[in-house]
Chain A
Amino acid sequence: MKPLLQVEDLTIAFVDENKQKVVVENINFSVGPGEILSIVGESGCGKSVTALSILGLLKPNARIIKGKILYQGNNLLDMSEKELDRIRGNEVAMIFQDVMNSLNPVLTIGKQLTESIGIHLGYDKKEANEYAIEIIKKVGLSDPRSIMRKYPHMLSGGMQQRVMIAMALSCNPKLIIADEPTTALDVTIQLQIMKLLVDLQKEFQMSIILITHDIGVVAELADRVTIMYAGQFMEEASVYQLFDKPYHPYTNALLKSIPSIYDDKNRKLASIPGTVPEDYSAIKGCKFADRCPYKVPLCEEIQVLSEMESDHFVRCHRAEKGELVYE
């Protein structure tokens, strides 16, 4: 199966005056048709920057140093703004965490939806209206006509998130990039939105890149998972492989540090000492080494991703040699 999106050796840096700070380092991944790929990591690990780079939405101080982002074989990085506009929305759409900042507060929901439908699908006003109503129904909002007349602030957080999803869906994209789509929501609403995403993904045969820090959401939704730390992928595997047998010490610690509602209360929660380094671009060897309980001198050397089992990759020389056994 040919991948829909393929990212090769992507390296992104923040540049100010004469300093350059690499925030995403040599990452490679691909998303197949109908696949949900999750990029997991803590704040500041570079996952959102990766997401934004795909649609050319990086802030001016971020530079793509090298790499390719191939969408159906064409490099998005070589495209002009005009060519990109044909991809954005039509082919690849994005859902953001912060809905309030992505909806225009002074336009009605109807206006915002029909505008993009008009531009992308070339519908006239009436057609766009009817189509918008259909889409609003699709995302599970009742009384679509009254929703169309409302302004964003008149809707609850869950409803706003549904409107965002409706906007993203409106032009039948093949790929949706969802950056923390449920993080701001309450759990019962989060469950509704997760179900909605999966249902729509199946119905429309879409691919999704799910950016999140929430391991629980990943376990519920993803097909494949990559664990990102300090700008690098530390581990990549199918969701079942990863939860069943994590290889990287960071992945292992991450999985063990979540208190579960079905947990024995007396188990002491594993915590990772320290915090994510702020400027990690200068670290040559393993970026996690300073917080890793399994650190040895060799960790100061450059670490590479290697395949442990079919399609299960890890960036840790000790895991690769089979030296690490977790409880």
Chain B
Amino acid sequence: MSNKENRRPLMKVEGLKKYYPTKGSDLGSYKEVVHAVDGVDFEIYEGETLGIVGESGCGKSTIGRQLVALEKPTEGKIIYQGADISSMSIRQLRKIRTQLQMVFQDSTSSLNPRKQIYDILAAPMLYHGIVKREDLDNEINKLLNMVGLPKTMKYRYPHEFSGGQRQRLGIAKALSLKPRLVVCDEPVSALDVSVQAQILNLLKQLQEELKLTYVFIAHGLGAVRYVSNRIAIMYLGKFVEIADTNDIFINPIHPYTRALFDASPLADPQLRGRKRIVLKGEIPSAVNPPRGCRFHTRCPHAIESCSILEPKLLPIKPGSSHKAACPVVLDKGVENA
């Protein structure tokens, strides 16, 4: 995916919003709305890995679920192969679901504990007519081999596997339907460090072999950098910055992006004394997100207009694919903001 000119969008997301009603107060009548995703536009290019980074509650997993049509957005379009999947009927969706798959953080709860791996992998493939019954055995062996598990394990139950192995099964399950887009939602967060590296390498290797497109949702910046071609930084339901991986790490623009990078611990005690932004306070509630720029309540560079005008995600230079939503920094430059 190094050749920028040849980028072809596989999916296009326009004005995506997802609001959830809360359960309401004790009296039942009063309802609040969580603005989980609040107006996001982006494209996913064929063969790339788009990383979506943000802290808990920023809406990154919500986006993931909309992309694979597990939920319907409140507003906006998700264009895949020329059609808007957010307005499709269940019957129409059934035809494309196989192409949009997901790998979850908690692989345990996505594997039926009462079924053997063989059956867990077989059922979706048979339902969608991906393989004929006589080829099933072969196909399952192939899948297990692909994710680095011995084929003798197919008659075991999920609890007989370690966390890393279960995540391999989660990947096998997603890949069994021959998807084009795989949304990986925090696929390594629950794993030990030594096993995390195994899974990240496996994901990269499979992407190359099968020409997959990934959306990689995570909060661990190191892992996201390792697998992603492009990265979007999310805060309270909005993208604050999006750019090619190298650009964003070399030249982070948005104050939140920079604070997030600064907060990421470095495995080098020599760098302990480094200068860095320590954000005050915590992420405001998504029920009543701050007006204007959502980050202005914690932003060290906020000026008066930040609390009034909602900033747009704009190219940092004309024509640049690096976009940021901070007029203050874009006006004055990173150094002077």
Contact = CB atoms under 8 A, between A and B. Distances in A.
Given A187-B260, A271-B194, A271-B198, A259 B282 contact: no
Interface string A191-231: 11011000000000000000001111111101000000000
Q: Please tell me the size bucket of the interface on B.
A: 35 or more
Given A158-B282, A187-B55, A187-B260, A262 B266 contact: yes
Most buried by A among B55, B162, B245, B265: B265
Given A158-B282, A192-B279, A268-B201, A263 B225 contact: yes
B200 interface: yes
B155 interface: no
Contacts of A222: 269
A257 B196 contact: yes
B305 interface: no
Contact of B265 (A217, A259, A272): A217
B223 A262 contact: no
Most buried by B among A220, A222, A275: A275
A261 B198 contact: no
Interface string B236-268: 000000000110010000000001111111111
A131 interface: no
A259 B249 CA distance: 14
B198 A259 contact: no
Given A192-B279, A216-B264, A239-B269, A261 B222 contact: yes
A305 interface: no
Interface string A240-282: 1001000000000111011111110100111111011000000
Interface in B282-315: 282-283
Contact of A258 (B193, B201, B269, B271): B193
Most buried by B among A187, A191, A276: A187
A216 B192 contact: no
Given A187-B260, A215-B267, A263-B225, A269 B197 contact: yes
Contact of A261 (B56, B162, B194, B264): B264
A271 to B, nearest CB: 4
Given A243-B267, A260-B222, A219 B272 contact: yes
A254 B192 CA distance: 10
Contacts of A240: 269-270
Contacts of B246: 265
A146 interface: no
A269 B266 contact: no
Q: Please tell me the size bucket of the interface on A.
A: 35 or more
A195 B278 contact: yes
A253 B194 contact: yes
Contacts of B20: none
A72 interface: no
Nearest to B262: A191
Contacts of A268: 201
A61 interface: no
A222 B267 CA distance: 12
A257 B223 contact: no
Contacts of A310: none
Nearest to A186: B55
A124 to B, nearest CB: 34
Contacts of B261: 261
Contacts of A213: 192-193
B195 interface: yes
Given A188-B260, A259-B200, A275-B164, A265 B267 contact: no
B221 interface: yes
Nearest to B220: A259
B267 A260 contact: yes
Given A215-B267, A219-B272, A276 B192 contact: yes
A218 B267 CA distance: 8
A315 B266 CA distance: 26
A42 interface: yes
A33 to B, nearest CB: 21
A254 B194 contact: yes
Contacts of A214: 265
B219 interface: yes
Interface string B151-163: 0000000000011
A268 B227 CA distance: 10
Given A220-B266, A271-B197, A275-B162, A263 B222 contact: yes
A216 to B, nearest CB: 3
A112 interface: no
Interface string A175-196: 0000000000011111110110
Contacts of A159: 282
Contact of B197 (A156, A194, A263, A270): A270
A261 B249 contact: yes
Given A259-B226, A262-B266, A156 B282 contact: yes
B245 A219 contact: no
23 contacts: A43-B192, A186-B283, A187-B219, A187-B260, A187-B263, A189-B282, A192-B279, A216-B266, A254-B193, A258-B197, A258-B222, A259-B220, A260-B222, A260-B266, A261-B222, A261-B249, A262-B266, A269-B200, A269-B226, A271-B201, A272-B195, A272-B198, A275-B164
Interface of A: 42-43, 156, 158-159, 186-192, 194-195, 213-220, 222, 239-240, 243, 253-255, 257-263, 265, 268-273, 275-276
Given A189-B55, A220-B272, A254-B194, 10 more contacts: A186-B219, A187-B260, A190-B265, A191-B262, A220-B265, A257-B197, A263-B225, A269-B201, A271-B198, A276-B192
Q: Which 5 A-B pairs have the closest CB atoms?
A: A216-B265, A271-B197, A259-B222, A186-B55, A272-B194
